[in-house]
């Protein structure tokens, strides 16, 4: 996926701000909020109004009294406790709107880049891609952003595409609040085939209390019983105990030759490897 901007260093800073603009339903809004993270030309905050991607809003720092115009870079379309998380890019400001110098931060080690699975809302292809515009905690169900799509030959809306770990109790229910987190970690998958044990070291896409979704180049059948070591660290002195798991979904091609597999952790009473 091309056209991804380079990350900028952000720091946590709660500044009182005023936000004014037009909402998704073409209504004028005038809200007070506060920043969550700020960067030299960026901010992450919350809005009660749902706004459109790439729309412009006016922001005023109520502490410094300085203002400026911003572009909506990303928005979470799902309101949480009545608020939408939103990422802003400063277009023009009246001065040092945050009252903080970021020049020193430029010489330090670059920040870690958030990566997540995004799905083009036009052609429905999914890709694992860097998301430097946001932090890990904000990339979840409802997260939307614009990106160039090579398949569509246009800039389109992309949305976070979490993989639900389905259980008999949750099948058919709305699982948007099921506690999945877009965490990337190494895991070891152990399977038995024709009396032999095969190991597959993979990386997760997201994890939850009762399961995980991981990337693999191998084929797994829905219903297949596995053993999972999560997290897995090669060369670890301690001997990890595998956890029984069962494949509940195979999502097929997720870019390149990898595909995503969702597993549900099983009760520990089952036999271990």
How do residues 54-76 score in pLDDT, each as one tens digit?
999 999 999 989 999 999 999 99
Does residue 106 surpass a pLDDT of 60? no
Residue 97's SS3 state is coil
DSSP state of 138: G
User: Are 165 and 264 spatial neighbours (Cβ–Cβ below 8 Å)?
Assistant: yes
Residue with the two structure tokens 């909402």: 23
Q: Is the pLDDT of residue 232 over 90?
A: no
Q: Which of 188, 208, 196, 192 is nearest to 270 (CA)?
A: 192
Indicate whether this model's pTM tops 0.85.
no
pLDDT at 82 over 50: yes
Averaged pLDDT for residues 162-182 = 49
Tokens matching residue 120: 């083009």
Q: Which residue has the higher pLDDT, 164 or 50?
A: 50
**pLDDT range class, residue 108, cuts 50, 70, 90:** low
CA distances from 69 to 51, 120, 137, 197 (A): 15, 28, 25, 59
> Per residue in 203-212, pLDDT tens?
888 887 778 8
Beta partners for residue 181, in sequence order: 207
Taking 70 as the threshold, does the pLDDT of residue 86 lie above it?
yes
What whole-number distance in Å separates Cα of residue 43 and Cα of residue 57? 12
pLDDT value of position 177: 40
Q: Which pLDDT belongs to residue 109?
A: 56
Nearest-angstrom CA–CA distance, 18 and 243: 50
Q: Residue 90's pLDDT is what?
A: 93
Give the pLDDT band (50/70/90) at residue 104: low
What's the mean pLDDT in 124-140?
Answer: 83
What is the pLDDT, as a whole number, of residue 170?
Answer: 44
* Residue 138 phi, psi (nearest 5): -95, -10
- CA distances to 7, 173, 178, 212, 267 from 169, rounded to whole Å, are 40, 9, 12, 17, 15
pLDDT at 236: 67
- In eight-state DSSP terms, residue 235 is T
């Amino acid at each position: 996926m091309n056209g991804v901007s380079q990350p900028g260093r952000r720091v946590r800073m709660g500044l009182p701000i005023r936000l004014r603009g037009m909402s998704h339903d073409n209504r004028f809004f005038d809200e007070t909020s506060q920043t969550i993270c700020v960067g030299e030309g960026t901010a992450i905050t919350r809005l009660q109004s749902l706004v459109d991607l790439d729309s412009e809003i006016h922001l005023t720092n109520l502490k410094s009294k300085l203002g400026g115009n911003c572009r909506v870079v990303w928005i979470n379309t799902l309101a949480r406790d009545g608020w939408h998380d939103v990422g802003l890019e400063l277009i023009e400001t009246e001065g040092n709107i945050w009252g903080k110098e970021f020049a020193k931060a430029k010489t330090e080690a670059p920040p870690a880049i958030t990566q997540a699975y995004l799905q083009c809302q036009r052609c429905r292809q999914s890709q694992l891609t860097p998301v430097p515009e946001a932090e890990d905690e904000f990339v979840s169900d409802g997260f939307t952003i614009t990106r160039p799509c090579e398949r569509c030959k246009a800039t389109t809306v992309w949305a976070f595409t979490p993989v639900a770990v389905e259980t008999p109790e949750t099948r058919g229910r709305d699982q948007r609040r099921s506690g999945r987190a877009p965490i990337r970690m190494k895991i070891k998958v152990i399977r038995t085939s024709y009396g032999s044990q095969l190991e597959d070291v993979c990386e997760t896409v997201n994890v939850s209390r009762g399961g995980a979704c991981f990337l693999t180049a191998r084929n797994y059948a829905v219903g297949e019983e596995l053993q999972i070591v999560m997290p897995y660290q090669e060369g670890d002195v301690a001997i990890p105990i595998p956890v029984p798991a069962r494949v509940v979904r195979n999502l097929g091609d997720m870019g390149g030759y990898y595909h995503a597999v969702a597993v549900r952790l099983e009760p520990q009473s089952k036999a271990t490897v």
